[in-house]
Amino acid sequence: MALSSTLTSKGQTTIPIQVRKALRAKAGDRIAYTLAGDHVVLRRDEGAAGLAGALASNKGRGMSWAQIRAAAAKAAAGR
């Protein structure tokens, strides 16, 4: 399914509802753009809030802060 929207003179556009639903994006959410050759990949940018609870289990028990930061960065990169 090809979707499109119009770019305004200010460089703004409306993200089609089908895309917003697929991303589970709502007003106030941040959108991340990744350039990939001649196209762009959009994703909802969860930022630090997306990691909430990621280290709440006992899995991190006994890890150093450096190990915890590395695990959090790896988890965020995989999203």
Burial 17-27 (b: 16+ CB within 10 A, else e): eeebeeeebee
- Decide if pLDDT at 67 tops 90: no
- The predicted-structure confidence for 8-17, as pLDDT tens digits, reads as follows 999 999 999 9
Query: 62 with 77: CB under 8 angstroms?
Result: no
Rounded to an integer, what distance in angstroms lies between the CA atom of residue 55 and that of residue 13?
37
Can you give the pLDDT at residue 72? Answer: 82
- Asked if residue 41 and residue 14 are part of one domain, the reply reads yes
Domain containing residue 9: CATH number: 2.10.260.10
Q: Domain of 8?
A: 1-45
Q: What percent of the chain has pLDDT over 90?
A: 38
39 and 52 co-located in one domain: no
**Number of domains the chain contains:** 2
pTM equals 0.55
Query: Tell me, what's the pLDDT at 71?
Result: 83
63: confidence class by pLDDT, cuts 50, 70, 90: confident
